[in-house]
Amino acid sequence: MFKKSLAALAVLGVAAGYASAADVTLFGVVDTGLIYTHQTFADDSKADVNNFAMDSGVSSASRFGLKGTEELGNGLKVGFKLENGFQSDSGALKSEKRIFDREASVSLYSDFGTLSMGRMGGVGSGAGTYDLVLATADAFDGGDNNVFGFATSDRYDNMVTYQTPKFAGLQATVQYSFNEDSTNKDNGREGSSAVNRYSSAALTGDFGALQTVLAYEFENYKSFGAAEHDDGQIVYLGGNYDCGFAKTFVMGQYFKGIKAGQLTAITEDDAAHFDTVGTDGTDGYSADGVKGYGLHLGTIVPVAGGDLTVAAYFTDFAVEYADQDVDAKSYAFGAKYEYYLSKRTSVYTGAGFAQVKYDDEGSDKTTQAYLGLTHRF
């Protein structure tokens, strides 16, 4: 950890020297809140959870980073983004494996579009520069703590992203990762069938008050000898419309073959179970993955100097095995009010409820309430 801190300081020092030759900005978010969580489980062997605690990133993930651009002439520009996640309640780094766990990318901008390379989020991850799906079609841009339930992608290493210029409000984005996780030493050669590879394509539309998105994500899972596994696929369709007094969000998704850990309706413990009891007993996913669909409706309404966000989510899914399926439905509802003390500082409070109902096996239920403070710089 000490070595990582020294490395981070060294990067900041180099960036300070670079600032004289390029436009470099230090940016970030510090978000700390108090959150109460009550959980009950379908599995009677699990004890109920009643927890009241201080936490980081209750409303927006705490982070800091550096970004900059340099004009090269002839319509060309180069830029970079280095972004780190941290725990504002303890000062600890969010990741033990990476200094810049949220994003580390370099980009070339031209009249023909933007080419980016490095570590960055997928179009359906709700993270970073290419957060296209959830930023456009989800009122909470990735759910509200325990209130969500949708399938999402993640941040990936070794990613290449190309984004076209806008044509009549339309813009296309394609991505490919040669190896999703370079820190996994058990992985094989980058770009080979011995590693998980990710690809995506998205088409966004900017038509003034109306914003739309259509996206497809594909995960080509690494091979496990003779074992056969479905590859993961997610399709999204949605958008938002700003009528002045409110902005309304609508989204639907269909997913197939994904890992249980990609579906936010499933708890971490259950996901770990579903993802390790496949027919071959290896890690990663059940024999056939998780299949289903999700629907979302939400709105953001300006109220008394702040924003009131209200959202509902429904997910119908099945964890598929060769011999039987585990069927379930997820219902989630959340509301948050954020009041702006300034352009960069806000206070917020919110509450929500989520239920995952397993066929003939009871339900997991979660109730949450929170309040906190966010400062952006």
Dihedral of CA atoms 283, 264, 62, 123 in degrees, nearest 10, equals 90
Per-residue pLDDT tens for 110-154?
A: 999 999 999 999 999 999 999 999 999 999 999 999 899 999 999
**Which pLDDT score, from 0 to 100, does residue 270 have?**
72
Residue ranges in the chain modelled with pLDDT below 50: 1-12, 14-16, 18-20, 225-227, 277-285
Choose among 263, 260, 333, 325: nearest CA to 294.
Answer: 263
Tell me how far apart the alpha carbons of residues 60 and 49 are, in angstroms, rounded to a whole number. 24
pLDDT at 282: 45
**pLDDT tens digits for range 23-57:** 899 999 999 999 999 999 887 878 899 999 999 99
Strands (E) in the chain, as ranges, are: 23-40, 49-56, 63-73, 76-85, 103-110, 113-121, 155-163, 170-177, 197-207, 210-220, 232-242, 247-258, 290-303, 306-320, 325-340, 345-358, 362-376
* Residue 256: per-residue pLDDT: 93
Q: What is the pTM of this model?
A: 0.88
Residue found by looking up tokens 């190309």 in the block? 162
Domain ranges of the chain: 41-60+111-376
- Torsion over CA: 122, 268, 181, 221 (sign): negative
Q: Which of these, 336, 330, 328, 329, lies nearest to 368 by C-alpha position? A: 336
CATH number belonging to domain 41-60+111-376: 2.40.160.10
d(CA 310, CA 144) in angstroms, rounded, equals 10
Our measurement of the distance from residue 299's CA atom to the centroid of its chain's CA atoms, rounded to an integer in Å, reads: 20
What pLDDT, on a 0 to 100 scale, did the predictor assign at position 121? 97
